[in-house]
Amino acid sequence: QKEVEQDPGPLSVPEGAIVSLNCTYSNSAFQYFMWYRQYSRKGPELLMYTYSSGNKEDGRFTAQVDKSSKYISLFIRDSQPSDSATYLCAMSRITSYDKVIFGPGTSLSVIP
């Protein structure tokens, strides 16, 4: 079983839709969770990060963590064509020297 699993998609939604992107993980030691957005042929861009279970909101983006289920989500409200990209979840244990484990990414297309 991979440490982090993510549906690769592709996911295609109409403009304005609410998008739900999800990851599951197997290691209960993961305590720090991140979401990255990667446009084609570009480096990943950090969108959000959180330590705790629950929701964290930033503009149109909401990150949700459920540690009991080992499940994290990223919601995008009022999706725009510019949101079309690959979204990578990432997580790490609390020790600062631990490497970050990335999910394989979900490809999202928002259709005008």
Partner 1 sequence: GAVVSQHPSRVICKSGTSVKIECRSLDFQATTMFWYRQFPKQSLMLMATSNEGSKATYEQGVEKDKFLINHASLTLSTLTVTSAHPEDSSFYICSARLSLGSYEQYFGPGTRLTVT
Residues that bind partner 1 (CB under 8 A): 8, 32, 34, 36, 41-46, 49, 88, 90, 92, 96-97, 99-100, 102-105, 107
Least distance CB 112 / partner 1 (angstroms): 23
Q: What's the CA gap between 18 and 13, in Å, rounded?
A: 8
Burial 81-90 (b: 16+ CB within 10 A, else e): eebbbbbbbb
For partner 1, the closer of residues 15 and 52 by Cβ is 52
Q: What's the CA gap between 8 and 105, in Å, rounded?
A: 6
Contact 77, 63 (CB under 8 A): no
Contact 50, 73 (CB under 8 A): no
Least distance CB 88 / partner 1 (angstroms): 6
For partner 1, the closer of residues 94 and 111 by Cβ is 94
For partner 1, the closer of residues 17 and 67 by Cβ is 67
